[in-house]
Amino acid sequence: MMAGELNDLYQDIILDHSKNPRNSGYLEGATHSARENNPLCGDRVSVYLTVQNAEITDLTFEARGCAISVASASMMGQMMKGKSVAEAQNLFKQFIALINGSDVAEGVELKDLQSLSGVKQFPTRVKCATLSWHALQHALESGGIESKTS
């Protein structure tokens, strides 16, 4: 049997997202994108967004990483579609709080993302869970377009 904390980390929903990531791939016509690397392990993720009238109308990602980083990117994409840029930035803050074991603001629905709260028991894996989120944040801030990841 798995140790309890491992159970918390590798929940079925996380394994499902990592094996069948939603919104994975390059996004034609993206208005924003950014790439993040974790130089410690060589993992990388690119996030592509279409933003219209300050609303995220589409989001995809390309990731090369562990189960935690892929699942996190997959869940992030599901969560962000249809959100305003301001809502997305607030969700970013709340998600970082969740992963670091701090309090999440009341009234914020993290849905599937809640399953990643187990990461807080694994400090060496926090970077994995937050990699795609930092890419999203950078994409929203810079607004630049990255070329397609080969």
Interface residues with other proteins (CB under 8 A)? Answer: 2-3, 5-6, 9-10, 15, 19, 40-43, 64-68, 122, 124-125, 128
The CA distance from 48 to 51, in Å, is 10
Q: Give the nearer residue to other proteins in terms of CB position, either 49 or 129.
A: 129
Q: How far is the CB of 54 from other proteins (least distance, A)?
A: 35
β 32-38/43-52 pair status: antiparallel
Spatial CB neighbours of 92, under 8 Å, sequence gap ≥ 6: 133, 136, 137
In 72-127, the DSSP E strands lie at none
d(CA 130, CA 107): 22
* Closer by beta carbon to other proteins, 64 or else 148: 64
Closest contact distance (angstroms) between CB of 32 and other proteins is 25
Q: Which is nearer to other proteins, 40 or 105 (CB)?
A: 40
3 or 105, CB closer to other proteins? Answer: 3
Residue 122 Cβ vs other proteins, minimum distance, rounded to whole Å: 6
Shortest Cβ 18–other proteins spacing (Å): 9
| CA–CA dist 146, 40 (Å, integer) | 22
40: three-class secondary structure by DSSP: coil
